Amino acid sequence: MSDRILLSQAQVTEVEERYVLDALRSGWVAPLGPHVDAFEAEIADRVGVAGALALSSGTAALHLALLELGAGPGKVVVLPTMTFAATANAVLYTGAEPVFVDSQRQDGNVDPHLLIEAVDTLRTEGRDIAAVITVDLFGRCCDYASIEPALAEREIPLLEDAAEALGASLQGRAAGSFGRVAALSFNGNKIMTTSGGGMLLSDHNDLLERCRYLSTQARQPVAWYEHTEVGYNYRLSNVLAALGRGQLSRLDEMIDRRRQIRERYASGLAHLPVTFLGRGGAQRGDDDDNCWLTTLTVEDGPDADAVVGALSRQRIEVRHLWKPMHLQPVFDRARTFTTGVSDDLFRRGITLPSGPALSDDQIDRVISTLVSLISDQGQ
């Protein structure tokens, strides 16, 4: 029986082993330590922001960022419906109300015109908008050329959920550098991993310092444990930061491999009635996707559910795109500005195995399985 082909398996080498061993042997096991400081400095430098705060998850970064932007009861946060639940959950943790906005067709990222329409509609109704969150879906930056100036004009802070997008850029600016504050994730299946972890990025040192304080139980700087507000236990450990530094040293190499995999799919599937999300970057010639996951919609043939089922029987892990938040039972009462695009992307969209450890033979097996499935049913 052939190997099981996984969607996005982490790749760990001796480089990472050396870093983690250094952390263990240095004695810096109890949570913080020099690898945390170095990891923050290296990520901030890579993304081009003033500072970074290493946290236990991307969700924790979103939560703290929202708290600092003033999200809370009576406030509204506007965000894309096509995202992972963590983005929306973080809004609920603060007590604010999430309002969802539909996708643009070419890449599934938030529709910038609908986003601004939602903001203006909510304002006209007298709603108090704490922040807008954008999500750089599957490793591709949103249309910030439209979104940033429109939000700045309305004085609404932007939180960039760049959990999937480290290494991507738009017009020379790195994902994670848009907005007042941004969140990264280093979960196991992301572009790089600390096994579990995240980071908050910002150019605003006061915001970073406030989040640093909240992330370590909001302890006052006195000799005993003194607390004047609710804190969290959200910091990343020194051992995991060491793993992150090892991964970061190989990030470009891992992105290059994901890009080669994308190109192999593009040529192998070119004759099928499928559309790759975000391909045809011609509309925005200078954007650079990190190729985290290769995603496509089947235009003519089996729906996503049938493709996922058929490939799973061949031991190939293909997944649906994120199920839009407005279709999730937990958010079924949430306000949504929809056009039907995300519903359609969910019905027809799949993500293909894209991890850097996949071999060309494995990619070719995914291609030939898709070719026989889609061309059989298309006839």
Residues that bind ligand PLP (CB under 6 A): 57-59, 83-84, 86-87, 135, 161, 163-164, 185, 187, 198
C-beta of residue 375 within 8 angstroms of C-beta of residue 29: no
Half-sphere exposure of 24 (CA within 13 A, CB side): 7
CB 98 within 8 A of CB 142: no
Q: Please say which residue, 87 or 103, places its beta carbon nearer to ligand PLP.
A: 87
CB of 62 to ligand PLP, least distance (A): 6
Q: How far is the CB of 54 from ligand PLP (least distance, A)?
A: 12
The least CB distance from residue 58 to ligand PLP, in Å, is 3
Name which of 131 and 135 has its Cβ closer to ligand PLP: 135
**Spacing of C-alpha 56 from chain mean position:** 15
Distance in Å, CB of 379 to ligand PLP, minimum: 37
CB of 374 to ligand PLP, least distance (A): 27
If the CB atoms of residues 187 and 297 are measured against ligand PLP, the closer one turns out to be 187
CA distances from 84 to 6, 138, 309, 345, 369 (A): 19, 10, 21, 14, 28
DSSP 8-class letter at 172: T
Position with the least CB separation from ligand PLP: 58
Helices marked H in the chain — which ranges? 14-25, 34-47, 58-68, 85-94, 112-124, 144-153, 205-215, 238-249, 251-268, 304-313, 341-348, 360-378
> For residues 147 and 193, what is the distance between their CA atoms, to the nearest angstrom?
29
> Nearest distance from residue 60's CB to ligand PLP, in Å?
7
Backbone angles phi and psi of 288, in degrees to 5: -135, 110
The one-letter amino acid at 200: L
Could you give the CA distance from residue 213 to residue 55 in angstroms, rounded to a whole number?
A: 12
Pick the closer one to ligand PLP by CB: 49 or 159. 159
